[in-house]
Amino acid sequence: MLQIQENISLKPYNSFGIDVKASYFAEIFSEADLKSLFEDDVTKSQKLLVIGGGSNVLFTKDYEGLVIKISIKGTESIADGEQILVTAGAGEVWNDFVNYCVEHNFAGVENLSLIPGTVGASPIQNIGAYGIELKDVFESCAAFEIKTGQIKTFNFNECHFGYRESIFKGELKGQYIITSVTFRLSTQPAINTSYGAIETELQRRGIEKPTIADVSAAVSHIRVSKLPDPSTIGNAGSFFKNPVIDKHEFAEVVAKHPDVVHYPTADHKIKLAAGWLIEQCGWKGKIVGQTGTWKNQALVLVNHGDATGTEVFNFSEQIIDSVKSSFGVTLEREVNIL
């Protein structure tokens, strides 16, 4: 039964472990819960924040409004020739969903292993890693329209995917709540080991013809070696986006820094490795008060104890200024600041 709680600590609900409170809090387990919630007078009078795993948010103060945690579960699949349509509830833990697909030999998401968060957040952010983005396997999503209380289905073209972007972060921000996502996967894997250290890790394991399970295991090993576990040290994964610049800007950067780590993009631009830029500026493993960057990956900001969100934010400002000064490139935060 739907409950709206008052004055609830959000520390268990954000992966940074920032101790702030929400005026109101509700956990949603079904589309029916959502409809009930938006019929309540409390909901009508409050500003709203929707969260899944809380792995892409930094709270800098108490939230004076209603926090809605989406915990809609369930996964099912339908065969479509050699392709498989897999639908998962928005509250499913993303890595649990990846493991489900790998165990059933549904190929397409294995490179996205161990990304924190929930399924419902994946199309909003167009999550990506190791050469794959969510849009590459996206079929559709179902979303609750706050204004009308109706469920609408969005297809690929309607989502306007970009680099860590979608229509849900743009013109429809705050208007819909995703309840489930459908993915188009395959029983005939197209193994992708070209990005990052996957090939090196597979060679280390003596694997010449990898399965999707091998790729998932390799990606998981790489991520664990580089990234801290949020259950032991507060963090939100990659704090900054990898900057994408045009070829003219890149020419200026590479003229001064010939060894800059970079990758071409599909739209003929250049993606720079934000972690490399930050590390070159001397920030990797640096600790300032209760916050800092992770010792194995400069792209990750961490909470070493009882850091406030403001401390983490101010630390990120210093990094942005430093990279801008050294490389002429402005980093953008991937994490939402509240």
Instruction: Give Cα separations from 134 to 29, 122, 157 (angstroms).
Output: 24, 7, 13
233: three-class secondary structure by DSSP: coil
Cα distance between residue 311 and residue 97, in whole Å: 34
- Answer whether 184's CB lies under 8 Å from 141's CB: no
Identify whether 334 is a catalytic site residue.
yes
Residue 34, H or E segment: helix 31-37
Check 15, 164, 166, 216 and give the catalytic one: 164
Strands, E, within the chain: which ranges?
A: 4-9, 21-28, 48-51, 57-58, 63-70, 75-80, 83-89, 128-129, 132-133, 138-145, 151-155, 176-186, 234-238, 244-245, 262-264, 270-272, 287-288, 291-294, 297-303, 336-337
- Answer whether 134's CB lies under 8 Å from 161's CB: yes
Cα distance between residue 239 and residue 241, in whole Å: 7
- Answer whether 72's CB lies under 8 Å from 142's CB: no
Burial pattern 306-336, b for ≥16 Cβ within 10 A else e, equals: ebbbebbbebbeebbebbeeebebebebbbe
| CA atoms within 13 Å, Cβ hemisphere of 202 | 20
Check 55, 166, 180, 238 and give the catalytic one: 238
Identify whether 205 is a catalytic site residue.
no
Tell me the backbone φ, ψ of residue 56, rounded to 5 degrees. Answer: -135, 35
161: closest CA among 240, 273, 21, 267?
267
User: Helix 94-103 and helix 212-226: axis angle, to 10°?
Assistant: 150
Cα distance between residue 194 and residue 273, in whole Å: 16
Check 31, 92, 110, 334 and give the catalytic one: 334
Cα distance between residue 125 and residue 140, in whole Å: 15
| Residues annotated as catalytic (active site), given as ranges | 164, 238, 334
